[in-house]
Structures are given as structure tokens and as C-alpha cells.
Structure 1
Amino acid sequence: MINLLLAGVGGQGTVLAAKVLAKAAQAKGWQVRTAETIGMAQRGGSVTSHVRMESCGEEVLAPLVTKGTANVVIAFEPGEAARALPFLALEGMLVSATSAIQPVTAALAGTPYSGSAVVEQLERSLEGSGVLFVPVDDQALVQAAGNRKALNMMLLAVAVAQNRIPISLDELKAAVEACVKPQFVAMNLAAIDLPAACCLPGVCPGLFPFAHVVKYVNVPLTRWHTPSMSILLAALLRDTLPLPACPRWGCARKLDTAGTPLLRRG
């Protein structure tokens, strides 16, 4: 059984992202159930989508993910990532955008909150938990794509690239074609390709930082801000070195004699 929780605010496409995941699971012949919890979504309120899918022939009896059972949490906003944290299972994965969307109360009061501060607190809270945390620089993704409306598909692609969801990028694209209106299909397909263009899951050094992968183990880890440190950590965890050149962005990646990843723009 794979339990996924998607959290965002109104207008970010949280419900559509859940629908795409469910459609991809259905296309594989799996049983899947979904549900949404929506609070004043059109006014920027919280939106939470639950997706439960079988992966080994289990029967999915209920649509809601209970606390502590979500294998994957995908958050389109850091405050919503913090709100959804109690649902995350041990050894689960949290993928979160890092840019804050200010709630109406904060905007009116003139006291905006810092997305980076929330991400740092999340990292401290998850340290030593065994959770795979993937903060995604959504501003860099949006700048590269030129459109923020497809951020939901970009984050889905980042999550799928971590190999924690038994759905391929091709299956995700087929689900997009089935769920999205024809005039928006090309935009969403391009959004899926963008973070997945580089060979290393979740990390694109050519347009770094899209995402940096932090695996929390039983030793203290600091934030991995530099491309080389991010690649080295992810590679140690996923045995992906040596790395081939990125075919799309022209990033040349190799190891020196000391085993340190070197970066240069092609």
C-alpha cells in the first residue's frame, strides 16, 4: 500500500496533482482511492489531497491517509509542509517547495513569515528520523519554465524521480494527457521534463538549486547548499556515481581522483 499526501493552498493545483497520480495508478490496474480536505481554498486556504493506491494487490478500503502513515508527502508551500508533517511515516519522504505564500492574515498584518525559516525548522525537526527530505527551489524551477501554473507537475516529477512512488515519468505524462484540458497538456508535459532533465534524481546541477536531497540518518547532517555537496550526498545514498553528462542542460559531471564531484557548465 502506498499512501501519499499532497498539501498546498488554493490555486496551486493540489487536487489536479492528486488526480494525475490516481489516474497513473489506475492505468497500471491498481485500486486507488482519493479524497480532498479543502478549507476556503479559493481564498488561499489550505488544500490537502489524499491518495491511497495498492502496489501488491491489497484492497484499498478507505481514502484518507491517517497520521504517521504517509509514505510520501508533497507540499507546494513550506507552511503546508509543516502542517502536513504529522502525517509522514517513519522512513517516508517529504518533498517541499521553499517559497512561502503569505496567508491573508499575515499580509493584512504586515508580518510575513519566512519560507526559508520554515524549511530550516523542518530540517531540524527531521534530523535523525530516517526521513528523506527534498526541499525544492521552486523559484528556480518557475524561472526556468516561465510559468508558475505548472509547479504542481514539476514537484510531482521531482517526487517520482526519487523512486519512492512506483510510477514512472512516462506513466505520469500519460495521466496528464488523460486529466488535463488539451490546451494545457503541452505546458504540463514540459513541466514534468524540466526537473527530470538531469540524470541524478532530484538534483540538477546545471540549474542548481532545484532540489537538494537530504537523507537523515543517525548522525547530524547540516544543510547541503553547494552543488558538489548535494551531488556527493545523493550519490552516496543512491549509488549513482559515476555520473554521465546531462543531455539537456549540458552539465559535465565527473569525479576527480579524490572522489569529489566536479562541476562545470557545458
Structure 2
Amino acid sequence: MQIFDSHTHLNDTPYAGQEADFIAQAAELGVVEMAIVGSDTVLNEGALRLAAQYETLSAIIGWHPESAKDYHKAEETVLIDQLQRPEVVALGEIGLDYHWDTSPRDVQQTVFARQIEIAKSLHMPISVHTRDALEDTYKILKETDVRDCGGIIHSFNGDVEWMKRFMDLGMQISFSGVVSFKNAHEVHEAAKACPLDVMLVETDAPYLTPTPYRGKQNQPGYTRYVVEAIAKLRDVAPEEIAAATYANAHRIFKLGAL
């Protein structure tokens, strides 16, 4: 079984100096490829470094809504240059976060829309973070014609109707460890209803650790348990979910033949 973790933060502090160990542990669980996601200057550089160092890793770089207040012309110039490096497969994570509100909402919206325009100009998909902001996230994706570049709603946390609305815009739907949580009923229903050809899986490590390790630090290898949780919900073999999501990741990230 081959699994692709489509969104993980191996570039974050908890893994510093231990990246090779976590990559090896992931492979033992069948997680053989992963996208390392940035969110600001430091984490973008970390994602690029790891993706250049390890053949099985790709980079996703961009400016997270929590850091939107620090995104200016100089940062944009650097980002556009970095996005054209061969190890980069998407622009992200970008979007809106109304839970923490560490950047003003109007700034978040402006920076989100601007980065979508950059992705469109580079014919590159986006990875979208949305927390307590589904309505405005949908509005901006629609107004910016996101279908021109496509992308992923990462760690989807809405209901079936929201999933369908995002799919109508051409977005892929990625499920994280939340799908394994006992009381995440809306996400369970979405995972059961999601067409296999638009589904991805992820850990968002070090966050959102899936059952059976909930409460402990997450790691990329635990994508295995996300796959198993979805398979159980859909009453299919884990291999079916793994194969579909692996192929989908290769397709949206333009990684070529399997």
C-alpha cells in the first residue's frame, strides 16, 4: 500500500534534526511520499530545503492567513521566485482563519485573493486553509475563478453541502485526522459522500493526530490511520482509499506517471 500525505509540516520545530527518522517511520507505515507545507518566510524555506534534500518530498509554499499581516511586496517577490523551483508543487497554505484572527480579516482576504492570482499566473494549484470562515473562503475562491488553477481544501472540516459547493468550484477535498475523531459526524458524512477521484489524505502534522494516537504528537506516517478511518466509514479496503488518494495527489501536483 502506497500513501501520499498531501499536507504535513515536517519543516516545523518538533521534527528539527529528526526528519530522516520520521520519513523512515512513515515509509514503514506505507506513507511513501509527502508534501511539506510552508506558511511564512521561515517555514517556506524549510519546506524548500527538505524537498530538495529528499526525493520523496515535495514543497508547498505560501503565506498563511495568520501571517498575512507580514506579507508585503518584498515577501511577494521572494515567493514568486521560490514558486518556480522544481520541487514546488502548489502554493499554500493560504486562506482565511477567523478563529485566531492574528491578522485583520480584510488583510487576510486581500492576501488570499492576491496569492490565488499568482497561482493562476503560474498555472499552479493552491492549498487552502479555512477555519471558521467557510462562507468568505468560498466567496473569494468563486470570485477569483479558482478553477483556472485548481486546488485543495486542506483538512476539510465542513458538512456534505459545503463539500459539494467547493467541489463545484473544482476543488479537491483533503481529509486529516479529524475524520477519525468519534464525534466529527459532519466530517464522517463528507468522507462517505466524497467521490474518490477528488479525495486526498493528510496529517497536517504536528497537528490533528488521528485515532489511535490522539493526544500525542502527530507525524506523517499517521496518514495510514486517516486512510484506515475513511476505509472503515466507507466499508472498503484501505488499499482502495490509499490507491485513489495517491493517484489524485500525483495528478493535482503534476508529479507525472506513478
**Could you say whether these structures have the same fold, taking a TM-score greater than 0.5 normalized by the shorter chain as the test?**
no
User: What's the TM-score bracket when you normalise by the shorter of the two chains?
Assistant: 0.3 to 0.5
Structure 2 length-normalised TM: 0.34
Between Structure 1 and Structure 2, the one with more helix by share is 2
Structure 1 length-normalised TM: 0.34
Bigger RCO of structures 1 and 2 (CA < 8 A, at least 6 apart): 2
| Structure possessing the higher radius of gyration over alpha carbons | 1
